[in-house]
Structure 1
Amino acid sequence: MPEIAFYHHTRGSVEQTLPTLLERSLARGWRVVVQAASARRVKALDAHLWSYRPESFLPHGTKADGAPETQPVYLTCEEDNPNRADVRFFVERARMAPALVGEAAPAIRAALLFDGADDEELADARAQWKELRELGYSLVYHQQSESGGWEEKAREPKV
């Protein structure tokens, strides 16, 4: 069962922090799936990851690029896991529970990234926390600090 984390953005946007999380995952040798709720957001993330920092390259692809099994970072709005991801990031209120079972499940970690200034995303994150807790997953909640780092604020079950 993968570790489940919630990342509550209070100072920066998902677009600002996702590339760093992807870089750290790749540095650990992990394969990644990023799941959004819409094809429009997948397309926007695809464009963003090519241009977020001019001096770096973050290898990634989408269904449109073909050969998804070869992509170190695969962007999707479906519950698929064609690159056998170790970690899976969920954005734009994408549903976590269906993608945490069977072949869609990441091997190591899943994380929901959400904007705390968006009331709908905040309510959705709370609902997903409750759903996953009731399904028996171990959860950890991180909130962005004043400096932009992450502070652990809650853990279920408490250890």
Structure 2
Amino acid sequence: MTKVDFYILPSADPSARLDFACKLTEKAWRMGHRIYLHCSDAAQRDDLDARLWAFKGESFVPHGPAESEPQGLIVLGLGDDCGQHQDLLVNLDLKVPVFAKQFARVAEVVVEDPTIRSAARESFRFYREQGYSLQDHRLQRL
């Protein structure tokens, strides 16, 4: 059964989600996980791509878009097809992707922005109704 972790950040800034996704991705990658970062649109994916290149000067997180790196260790994708990925899904969209159930773990990143918070509540209800194992992590600082 898929385990879903909600990371609740102490910020109202939507861009904090992308910064946290970079940190989470680096940590998971260093632990040997394959990560699929699901973005809401191409602009968000491009922003996340730029942040992954620059978020930490001393580290390198190998990643690429799903179109050119479909089986890569860290893939940034859109739409309803995540290919063969099934380890860790970092969902940055405001809705639960149709393929979420094929992953061992799902990370939902939440900030205090009303739109994002409301979408996260809907996602939490969906996951709970589907019987997923849920955990929330209220971070005190970024």
- Bigger Rg over Cα: 1
- The answer for the alignment partner of 2:111 in structure 1 is 115
Q: Higher relative contact order at CA 8 Å, sep ≥6: structure 1 or structure 2? A: 2
Q: CA separation in 2, counterparts of 1:27 and 1:123?
A: 32
Partner residue of 1:35? 38
* CA separation of 1:45 and 1:92: change in aligned 2, threshold 3 A: same
Q: How far 1:26 sits from its partner (Å)? A: 1.0
Aligned length: 139
Q: 1:74 to 1:80 in 2, by over 3 A?
A: same
Match in the other structure for 1:72: 73
Q: State the 1:84 CA deviation.
A: 2.1
**TM-score (normalizing by structure 2):** 0.88
Structure 2 residue runs without a partner (length 5+): none
Q: What does the per-residue CA deviation read over 1:35-78, in whole Å, with 9 as the maximum and x for residues that have no partner?
A: 011111011111111111222111000034x1411x11100122
Name the SS for the 2:82 alignment partner.
Answer: coil
CA RMSD of aligned residues (A): 1.8
Aligned match of 1:45: 48
Gaps of 5+ in 1: 149-159
Residue of structure 2 equivalent to 1:2: 2
| 1:97–1:132 contact (8 Å) kept in structure 2 | no
* Distance in 1 between residues matched to 2:51 and 2:36, nearest whole Å: 16
Residues 35 and 79, structure 1, Cα contact 8 Å, conserved in 2: no
* Paired letter, 1:14: R
Checking the alignment, whether the CA contact within 8 Å between 1:62 and 1:74 is kept in structure 2 is yes
Q: Distance in 1 between matches of 2:84 and 2:44?
A: 20
Matched to 1:68, the amino acid is P
Q: 1:1-159 counterparts in 2 under 5 A?
A: 1-11=1-11, 13-64=16-67, 66-69=68-71, 71-82=72-83, 84-93=85-94, 95-96=95-96, 98-101=98-101, 105-106=102-103, 108-116=104-112, 118-145=113-140, 147-148=141-142
Aligned equivalents of 2:99, 2:8: Cα separation in 1? 20
Percent identity (aligned)? 25
Structure 1 residue ranges (4+ consecutive) displaced by more than 6 angstroms after TM superposition? none
Q: 1:83 to 1:56 in 2, by over 3 A?
A: farther
Determine helix, strand or coil for the equivalent of 1:98. coil
Which whole-Å deviations, capped at 9, do the CAs of 1:89-131 have from their partners, x for residues lacking one?
Answer: 01141x2251223xxx22x210111212x10100110111111
Match of 1:151 in 2: none
